[in-house]
Amino acid sequence: MSNPENGRVPVVRFAPSPTGYLHVGGARTALFNFLFARHHGGKFILRIEDTDQKRFQAEALQEIFTSLKWLGLQWDEGPEAGGEGGPYFQSQRTETYRRHADQLLAAGRAYRCFCSEDRLTRMRAEQEKAKMANGSGYDRHCRLLTEAEVAALLAANAPHVIRLKVPDDRAVVFRDLIRGEISYDSAQLDDLVLLKSDGFPTYHLANVVDDYLMRVTHVLRGDEWIASTPKHMLIYEAFGWPPPLFAHMPVILAADGGKLSKRRGAASVLDYQRAGYLPEALLNFLVLLGWAPGGDREIMTLDEMIAAFSLERVQAKAAVFDETKLEWMNGHYLQQRSEESLLPEVMVCWEKLLLPLPAALADKAYARRVIGLFKDRSKKIIEIAENSGYFFRDPAAYDPQAARKYFKRETLSILELLSEKLAAQEPFGREALEGLYRQVAEGLGLPAGKLIHPTRLAASGVSSGPGLFAMLEVLGKETVIRRLQNARNWIAAAADTKE
RNA sequence: GGCGCUAUCGUCUAGGGGUUAGGACGGGUGAUUCUCAGUCACUAAACCGGGGUUCGAAUCCCCGUAGCGCUACCA
What pLDDT, on a 0 to 100 scale, did the predictor assign at position A86? 82
Last residue of a domain, one of A362, A393, A424: A393
A403: pLDDT strictly greater than 50: yes
Number of domains forming the structure of chain A: 3
Instruction: Give the closest residue to A370 by CA, choosing from A475, A279, A478, A458.
Output: A475
The stretch A179-200 carries a mean pLDDT of 92
What pLDDT, on a 0 to 100 scale, did the predictor assign at position A262? 65
**Residue closest to sugar C1' of B2 by CA:** A134
Q: Edge-to-edge strand order for the sheet containing A171-176?
A: A180-185, A171-176, A245-249, A218-222
Give domain status of residue A59, yes or no.
yes
Give domain status of residue A112, yes or no.
no
> In whole angstroms, what is the distance from residue A63 CA to residue A46 CA?
14
What pLDDT, on a 0 to 100 scale, did the predictor assign at position A41? 96
For the ranges A123-132, A153-162, A254-263, the maximum mean pLDDT occurs at A153-162
Instruction: Find the nucleotide nearest A116 (Cα to C1′).
Output: B73
A495: pLDDT strictly greater than 90: no
Grade residue A215 by pLDDT with cuts at 50, 70 and 90. Answer: very high
Q: Which domain holds residue A358?
A: 337-393
What pLDDT, on a 0 to 100 scale, did the predictor assign at position A425? 83
Residues A315 and A353 in one domain: no
The stretch A407-430 carries a mean pLDDT of 90
State, as a whole number of angstroms, the distance between the CA of A316 and the C1' of B49. Answer: 22
- Read off the pLDDT of residues A419-466 as tens digits, 9 standing for 90 and up: 999 998 888 999 999 999 999 998 998 889 999 999 999 999 999 999
CA of A254: how far to CAs of A24, A47, A225, in Å? 11, 27, 19
Give domain status of residue A138, yes or no.
no
A499: pLDDT strictly greater than 70: no
Give domain status of residue A414, yes or no.
yes
What pLDDT, on a 0 to 100 scale, did the predictor assign at position A2? 41
CA of A121: how far to CAs of A117, A139, A358, in Å? 6, 12, 65
Grade residue A131 by pLDDT with cuts at 50, 70 and 90. Answer: low
The answer to whether the beta carbons of residues A346 and A276 sit under 8 Å apart is no
Residues A285 and A298 in one domain: yes
**Residue closest to sugar C1' of B33 by CA:** A467
> In whole angstroms, what is the distance from residue A453 CA to residue A450 CA?
6
CA of A232: how far to CAs of A37, A238, A303, A427, in Å? 22, 10, 34, 75
Last residue of a domain, one of A336, A358, A381: A336
What pLDDT, on a 0 to 100 scale, did the predictor assign at position A6? 55
Greater model confidence, A27 or A498:
A27
**Residue closest to sugar C1' of B69 by CA:** A224
Query: Residue A22 maps to which CATH number?
Result: 3.40.50.620
Instruction: Give the closest residue to A256 by CA, choosing from A333, A323, A209.
Output: A323
Last residue of a domain, one of A374, A393, A412: A393
State, as a whole number of angstroms, the distance between the CA of A258 and the C1' of B65. Answer: 19
Return positions of chain B under 7 A from a protein CB.
1-8, 10-15, 22-26, 33-39, 67-75
Grade residue A136 by pLDDT with cuts at 50, 70 and 90. Answer: low
Instruction: Find the nucleotide nearest A257 (Cα to C1′).
Output: B67
What pLDDT, on a 0 to 100 scale, did the predictor assign at position A182? 92
Handedness of CA A305, A307, A308, A311 (dihedral sign): positive
Which residues, including other chains, have CB under 8 Å from residue A353's CB and lie 6 or more apart? A385, A386, A389
Residues A260 and A315 in one domain: yes
Question: Which residues of A carry out catalysis?
Answer: 262
Give domain status of residue A312, yes or no.
yes
Backbone φ and ψ of A39, nearest 5°: -60, -40
Residues A321 and A405 in one domain: no
The stretch A4-24 carries a mean pLDDT of 85
State, as a whole number of angstroms, the distance between the CA of A51 and the C1' of B62. Answer: 44
- Read off the pLDDT of residues A45-76 as tens digits, 9 standing for 90 and up: 999 999 888 888 889 999 999 999 999 999 99
The region of weakest confidence among A126-140, A323-337, A364-378 is: A126-140
Give domain status of residue A62, yes or no.
yes
A97: pLDDT strictly greater than 60: yes
DSSP string of A234-258, one letter each residue? HHHHHHTPPP-EEEEEPPEE-TTSS
What pLDDT, on a 0 to 100 scale, did the predictor assign at position A153? 95
What percent of chain A is modeled with pLDDT above 90? 76
State, as a whole number of angstroms, the distance between the CA of A376 and the C1' of B16. Answer: 40
Could you give the ipTM of this predicted complex?
0.94
> In whole angstroms, what is the distance from residue A400 CA to residue A325 CA?
33
CA of A318: how far to CAs of A249, A302, A388, in Å? 9, 23, 40
Residue A182 pairs in a beta bridge with A174
Residues A499 and A411 in one domain: yes
The stretch A326-347 carries a mean pLDDT of 96
Residue A247 pairs in a beta bridge with A220
The stretch A277-288 carries a mean pLDDT of 97
Instruction: Find the nucleotide nearest A318 (Cα to C1′).
Output: B6
- In three-state form (DSSP H/G/I as H, E/B as E, the rest C), the secondary structure along A164-231 is ECCCCCCEEEEEECCCEEEEEEHHHCCCCEEECCCCCECHHHHHHHHHHHCCCCEEEEEHHHHHHHHH
What pLDDT, on a 0 to 100 scale, did the predictor assign at position A358? 87
The stretch A168-197 carries a mean pLDDT of 92
What pLDDT, on a 0 to 100 scale, did the predictor assign at position A99? 97
Residues A413 and A497 in one domain: yes
Residues A280 and A355 in one domain: no
The stretch A185-194 carries a mean pLDDT of 91
Give domain status of residue A29, yes or no.
yes
The region of weakest confidence among A29-43, A68-82, A376-390, A414-428 is: A414-428
The mean predicted confidence, pLDDT, of chain A is 91
Instruction: Find the nucleotide nearest A258 (Cα to C1′).
Output: B68
Residues A322 and A405 in one domain: no
Residues A407 and A472 in one domain: yes
Residues A18 and A67 in one domain: yes
Grade residue A493 by pLDDT with cuts at 50, 70 and 90. Answer: confident
What pLDDT, on a 0 to 100 scale, did the predictor assign at position A137? 81
Residues A450 and A405 in one domain: yes
Phi-psi region of A174 (alpha: psi -120 to 50; beta: other; left: phi over 0): beta
